[in-house]
Structure 1
Amino acid sequence: MLHSLSRALHEEVRFDTEKVTSVDSISHPTLTHADTPARIDVVLVNGDPHPDRSDLPPYGAGETACKPLIAAVANAIYDATGVRLRRVPFRDGRVLAALKAARVYQ
């Protein structure tokens, strides 16, 4: 979940004409401890279509939350501002530019 929150708020993959240029932690910043919520409540739901098949490998638990968490952050921004953001990361400069473009903020 923290990785998804980091992706929503900080991380941005950058490209030039040939390759990815954000290849290290300096150019690809991630969430720090100071940025993390004090508490995150997680509810795991058994969505296994074959719960009685112990011979099958387990499904991932964290990976499935990536896209819904980013969408939830986008929806929270929309709910708070009335402006829909469709490109991560949702950094303050990008949010402010969207607010100005929508004439919500001068």
Structure 2
Amino acid sequence: KLDFEKLQEMPPLFVPYLANPTDSRYFDDIEAEQDFVKKNTEDDSLYNGMDNRVWGYTFNRVEADDSRKATQNQNPSTEPEKPAFGIIHDDIIDENEEK
């Protein structure tokens, strides 16, 4: 049983050694897996290349980007809302400028 209340106090079971921020030695080699799938499906006459749509998948959120642009274009006179951090940051700058 895992005590989630004390999870952060527990020592980790495994601490990976990373040589740099992009070190991927602990991940599987996906290209080798893709080659294996390709070799095993080349002789399959039913395989049309669409059976495995996950390999090489990239995500593009076109609809969300388009709707955001449309919303911004509807009210060109209004200033976009600042994130909470920006508001706090601006207040700090204003306080420092007044001194």
Query: What TM-score does the superposition give when structure 2 sets the normalisation length?
Result: 0.21
Larger Rg, first or second structure (1 or 2): 2
Q: Per chain length, whose mean CA-contact separation is higher, i.e. which structure has more relative contact order (CA < 8 Å, sep 6+)? A: 1
TM-score (norm 1): 0.20
More helix by share: 2
